[in-house]
């Protein structure tokens, strides 16, 4: 059974009431041997770090998510001290979300600049959350030379994919792959070069088929991998091997 990595989940989050220890064990049993717990604000990032500290196969990412960007400098200033803690491997999910406008455009842009600077200063990869905002995202990304990372929950078109590849950015695919009906998206999923592919769940969200409607958990990254491999007419082994080695290289896990 090929080993898989869930590069983006939120099972540490105290906001949800579910059995995270069972989720962790299920994942390990299913061959999902590594996972990155993504914090969305300083407090939640601390919870991710605590969870990673107690679980061999878990790592943490710290951030201020776009829809909480309105918390501003006060929240952003709390991120840097967290970067020195054990098992912190990335900054994110940061970015721009103009679909769900939880914070103003200006505050989202400010938070993105701040976290890009922080990542470059600490030589850490970024996990980007970009929705309906690529026109603003690319010029900001390009201003920060040396930034590296992944476009999480990637569901863009072919052009966006080419822009990502041209900048050395990975694309993180999740349950959307299993239930998308958008032909343009599906074609892009088929064409992402293996060298730029990461797998994730975004658990507890975006549960893949056939478990739609249930709570998502990291072990389901296996369903994403299998569905994607079939879609691309590649073997599960090939998809697993490449996406896992990409994740290990990017996050140094
Ligand atoms: Zn997420």
* 92-120 tens-digit pLDDT: 999 999 998 889 999 999 999 999 999 99
- 252 CA from centroid of ligand 1 (Å): 20
Predicted confidence at residue 108, as pLDDT, reads 98
- 119 CA from centroid of ligand 1 (Å): 18
CA distance 215 to 185: 24
- 167 CA from centroid of ligand 1 (Å): 22
Say which residue, 19 or 229, is predicted with more confidence.
229
Predicted confidence at residue 17, as pLDDT, reads 83
For the four alpha carbons of 240, 86, 88 and 118, in that order, the dihedral sign comes to: negative
Predicted confidence at residue 104, as pLDDT, reads 96
Residue 167 pLDDT more than 80?
yes
Predicted confidence at residue 197, as pLDDT, reads 98
| Cβ atoms of 227 and 209 closer than 8 Å | yes
- 39 CA from centroid of ligand 1 (Å): 8
Residue 239 pLDDT more than 90?
yes
Residue with token string 């918390």: 71
CA distance 49 to 52: 5
Predicted confidence at residue 185, as pLDDT, reads 95
Residue ranges of alpha helices (H) inside the chain are 20-29, 42-54, 72-76, 79-82, 105-121, 134-143, 158-166, 176-179, 183-191, 221-232, 236-251
Residue 123 pLDDT more than 90?
yes
| Cβ atoms of 151 and 182 closer than 8 Å | no
- 173 CA from centroid of ligand 1 (Å): 12
- 190 CA from centroid of ligand 1 (Å): 23
Predicted confidence at residue 1, as pLDDT, reads 73
Residue 211 pLDDT more than 90?
yes
Predicted confidence at residue 122, as pLDDT, reads 98
Predicted confidence at residue 16, as pLDDT, reads 86
Summarize pLDDT for 124-164 with one digit per residue, the tens.
999 999 999 999 999 999 999 999 999 999 999 999 999 99
Summarize pLDDT for 77-94 with one digit per residue, the tens.
999 999 999 999 999 999
- pLDDT band, very low/low/confident/very high, at 10 (cuts 50, 70, 90): very high
Summarize pLDDT for 12-52 with one digit per residue, the tens.
999 888 889 999 999 999 999 999 999 999 999 999 999 99
Predicted confidence at residue 47, as pLDDT, reads 98
- 200 CA from centroid of ligand 1 (Å): 9
Predicted confidence at residue 150, as pLDDT, reads 98
Predicted confidence at residue 15, as pLDDT, reads 86
230's CB contacts (< 8 A; 6+ apart) are none
Residue length of the chain: 253
Give me the chain's average pLDDT, please: 97
Per-chain residues with Cβ under 5 A from ion ligand 1 = 202
- 207 CA from centroid of ligand 1 (Å): 12
- 65 CA from centroid of ligand 1 (Å): 9
Predicted confidence at residue 2, as pLDDT, reads 86
| Cβ atoms of 29 and 21 closer than 8 Å | no
């Amino acid at each position: 059974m090929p080993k898989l990595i869930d590069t983006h989940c939120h099972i540490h989050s105290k906001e949800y009431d579910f059995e995270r220890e069972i989720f962790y064990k299920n994942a390990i049993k299913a061959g999902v041997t590594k996972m990155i717990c993504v914090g969305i604000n300083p407090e939640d990032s601390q919870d991710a770090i605590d969870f990673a500290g107690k679980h061999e196969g878990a790592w943490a990412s710290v951030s201020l998510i776009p829809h909480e960007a309105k918390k501003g400098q006060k929240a952003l200033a709390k991120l840097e001290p967290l970067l020195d803690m054990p098992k912190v491997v990335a900054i994110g999910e940061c970015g721009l979300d103009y679909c769900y406008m939880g914070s103003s455009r200006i505050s989202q842009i400010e938070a993105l600049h701040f976290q890009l600077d922080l990542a470059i200063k600490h030589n850490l990869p970024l996990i980007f959350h970009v929705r309906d905002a690529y026109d603003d995202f690319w010029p900001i990304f390009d201003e920060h030379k040396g930034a590296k990372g992944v476009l999480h929950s990637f569901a863009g078109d072919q052009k966006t994919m080419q822009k990502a590849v041209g900048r050395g950015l990975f694309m993180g695919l999740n349950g959307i792959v299993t239930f998308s009906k958008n032909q343009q998206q599906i074609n892009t999923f088929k064409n992402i070069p293996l060298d730029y592919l990461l797998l994730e769940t975004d658990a507890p969200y975006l549960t893949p088929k056939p478990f739609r409607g249930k709570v998502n958990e990291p072990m389901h990254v296996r369903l994403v991998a299998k569905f994607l491999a079939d879609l691309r007419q590649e073997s599960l082994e090939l998809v697993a091997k490449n996406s896992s080695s990409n994740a290990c290289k990017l996050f140094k896990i």
